[in-house]
Chains A and B, each alone.
Chain A
Amino acid sequence: MDTMPRWADIALIPLINLTLALLVSALVIALIGENPAQAMGVMIRGAVGSAYGWGYTLYYATNFIFTGLAVAVAFHARLFNIGGEGQAALGGLGVAIVCLSVPWPHWTLALPAAVLGGALFGAAWAAIPAWLQATRGSHIVITTIMFNFIASALLVYLLVNVLKVPGSMAPETARFPEGARLPSAYDWGAWMGFGRSAPLNVAFFVALACCVAVWVLIWKTRLGYEIRAFGQSEAAAKYAGIRPVRTIMITMLISGGLAGLMAVNAVQGEAERLVIDSVQGAGFVGIAVALMGRSHPLGVLLAALLFGALYQGGAELEFEMPAISREMIVVIQALVILFTGALDNMVRGPVEGLFRRRRKGAT
């Protein structure tokens, strides 16, 4: 009955898609008159060729793990949460409030509280679109897009008018207290060569824990079972007594919470204050990461590492080959989404045909 083996579906097709995306990217680089092979070399060396590079690559990857998991969890219920950007921004607000409102004695106390704050605010921001989808049928893609913009306006307002340090010009909060500072890679990994400037911090381990937690949630728990069944078929889910409204709400709250957690890394771990646009597009990268990772936590982790390397490599690329600007990353990211998401059938059709013919030839 299966048209092709499982390995082809979960590995071969994503790999072909990724290769196509990279080939077109190389073509773009060639078209602007640069050497794609050289560019690729610079990027790989810049991203993973030194402890310095790893310090950034893993920092970016941490962000993308959170936002990628957020999109992936929603995908399992066949919900397209495009609002990771806004949910992560609100998560930043939650983390900032937690960090600033208590004179934290030690980061081990501040971290769980910040995790709670970020997740709660992110989830709250996802709750309204989720509720509207579940009870009023409002298309969640459109409402989450709208909520991204509303979040951005809200944060600008709060930073300019409420949270700004009196007398300061910069629209940002005060620096978080020392007790809320998360240990950076230098603190715990200097022996691996990480320097003072490395933005990588313990939030990375929170992200890894989230991968495991999401894996357990989706594949091991009753709730995950219900989420997956609902995503496969709403009609069958109703037959089994799985309630659609409850499932949509819970899935989106988890999704929003995961997006909100990104702030633990970017706001608490790196910036140590809340600034305007703390998310910097990571919410959208999450879409590419979830698509590439086929919504599986392990896939998301690998895809997040790839994109983390891409972001860090891209920064190096701009430095070493000034003709190629940083936006090359965005182009690659777009091509990955295009080929793994929208043009999936273009590759799938011929590959399935190939397997069918091979099977026919075998029998």
Chain B
Amino acid sequence: MTAPTHTEGRPAAAAPSQTAPAIELRGISKAFGAVQANKDISIRVERGTIHGIIGENGAGKSTLMSILYGFYKADSGEILIGGQRTDIPDSQAAIRAGIGMVFQHFKLVENFTVLENVVLGAEDGAFLRPSLVKARRLLVDLAREYELNVDPDAKIENLGVGMQQRVEILKALYRQADILILDEPTGVLTPSEADHLFRILRGLRDEGKTIILITHKLREIMDVTDNVSVMRRGEMTATVRTADTSPSELAELMVGRKVLLRVDKTPARPGPVVLKVENLKVTDDKGVERLRGIDLEVRAGEILGVAGVAGNGQSELLEVLGGISDATGTVTLNGTPLDLSGPRADGRSRRHAGIAHVPEDRHRLGLILDFTAWENTGFGYHDLPDYCRGALMDQTALRNDTRGKMERFDVRPADCWLHAKSFSGGNQQKIVLAREIERNPDLLLVGQPTRGVDIGAIEFIHQRLIELRDAGKAILLVSVELDEIFALSDRIAVMFDGRIMGERLPGQTDETELGMMMAGMDGKAR
């Protein structure tokens, strides 16, 4: 349904246009503390094109766009709008320069009407009525022109996400934006809503607007953009014409040729089924279905790797299995069903049942950053008899245990009195891992085990996971790093949009195939 005819015959990026590029960035760099979010980024976005920016989570796309919208000040580099050097110290300046932004998390006032949201900050005069009358007229025009139909008097909280997104676009157009930036716009949309959005974007482009589309989905880039830039680890690795590239080439540019991680492991000897998940569904508090019926099995002595782009339901899967959030469906552990709601669907009951959980976000969930290392070693297990003497905690036992764990897991510095926040990412992760692995669980849930972890620690952590597998334990591994999935998994399941797209064996697939499945481009589900 999305024919490439739109791009055909358009000068786009191919021929140097007589006008200056809509946006040109030269040598933009930005660091947050020790983290270099953007490194010497230069890019030209031609007028009247849809320009995609693709990259993995954390590649620095959003930071770059926030700089363009005046949220952050770049440490160095310059911004040219329409050939003119422009300073963008705040959002006001960005709006004046003709830039409109549709954020990933909408910036809408929930209990205001569409009309009120559209005029907010761009009113004509001190009284509302004239602004509202004018906005209403304009909205009717825009709706006709770009298929942007929205009831102007509807309250935002009563609108679906697709509609809310249209309001964000209307806001930008009402401010006469020439350049529209959309940050991961389809993350919350259904496929048909996304198609509608793309029709709108093409219409806007044909009217001469410039559109920057930030995404990590290859399908969208191929469908809708004229040019595409790839970002990886804060750097801009390439800018190409979409027509001249292919999804597999982009996937390679995006993931990069990292040092291949080798983990010595013998073939798995799977035992009986430990975890069985059937028709697992989760609906979040906004009514969006985050898990749409998951079925999977993990056997003793094997690692099931769940691959996928972040935000496709993997986090929800881990949280449900770890007892943090409620769900419907059936989950059995060694044949015994687990409660998925009610008082016994909590972390404590899960641990008693034999499930350990290394969460994806150790800062938010896995650790209390202001607690010492030894206090964190007891976290979640603080009511176990070996850490307690009646109502008191047996701090000596806990500290001794922590010292042992720190030695066995090579945590540095090996000082159990240090606060969790004082350790490096890798050492923090080892503290969590030591706590969860040494409980000898039947099932280990582990999310992004090496996110923000230095190379040395990665190998160590992988080795430990393999050892646990070889000890006959079941492991459910969630990771967005394909290398990691390949290095560790005995079977690979790919998640997309709250569903399992399919399962593959590591020896019988490659990064390209998995990358396509992760982008939702594989129709032949199991």
Contact = CB atoms under 8 A, between A and B. Distances in A.
Interface of A: 1-2, 216, 220-223, 225-226, 228-229, 232-233, 235-236, 238-243
B123 interface: no
Contact of B422 (A2, A229, A239, A242): A2
A2 B423 CA distance: 10
A222 B366 contact: no
B388 A1 contact: no
Contact of A240 (B379, B421, B422): B379
A27 B354 CA distance: 64
B414 interface: no
B89 interface: no
Contacts of A216: 392
Given A229-B368, A229-B379, A239-B322, A220 B392 contact: yes
Nearest to B387: A222
Contacts of A222: 382-383, 388, 391-393
Nearest to B383: A222
A229 B378 CA distance: 11
Contact of B421 (A2, A223, A235, A243): A2
Given A228-B371, A240-B348, A240-B382, 18 more contacts: A2-B421, A222-B383, A222-B391, A232-B368, A233-B365, A235-B365, A236-B364, A236-B379, A238-B346, A238-B347, A239-B322, A239-B347, A239-B365, A240-B380, A241-B351, A241-B380, A242-B347, A243-B343
Contacts of B47: none
Nearest to A240: B380
Interface in B285-316: none
B376 to A, nearest CB: 10
B422 A1 contact: yes
Interface string B337-362: 00000010011111100000101000
A53 B395 CA distance: 42
A335 B82 CA distance: 55
B357 A239 contact: yes
Given A1-B422, A2-B421, A241-B346, A229 B351 contact: no
Contacts of B391: 221-223
Closest 10 CB pairs of A and B: A241-B348, A241-B347, A240-B380, A239-B365, A232-B368, A1-B422, A241-B346, A221-B391, A240-B379, A236-B365
A186 to B, nearest CB: 38
B200 interface: no
Nearest to A2: B422
A220 B419 CA distance: 17
A221, A225, A232, A236 — which one has the most chain B CB atoms within 10 A of its CB? Answer: A236
A39 B388 CA distance: 53
A221 B371 contact: no
Nearest to B424: A1
Interface string B391-407: 11101000000000000
Contacts of B324: 235, 238-239
A228 B359 CA distance: 20
A145 B383 CA distance: 35
B393 A226 contact: no
B100 interface: no
B81 interface: no
B395 A239 contact: no
A240 B393 contact: no
A225 B346 contact: no
Interface in B78-116: none
Interface centre among A1, A220, A226, A243 (most CB of B within 10 A): A1
Contacts of A226: 382
B510 interface: no
B245 to A, nearest CB: 41
B382 A225 contact: yes
Q: Which of A226, A229, A243 has the most CB of B within 10 A?
A: A229
Question: Most A CB atoms within 10 A — which of B357, B365, B419?
Answer: B365
B370 A232 contact: yes
A220 B379 contact: no
A270 to B, nearest CB: 33
Contacts of B375: 225
Given A236-B365, A239-B322, A225 B347 contact: no
Contacts of B359: 239
A232 B379 CA distance: 13
A221 B365 contact: no
B407 to A, nearest CB: 22
Nearest to A216: B392
B21 interface: no
B135 interface: no
B135 to A, nearest CB: 35
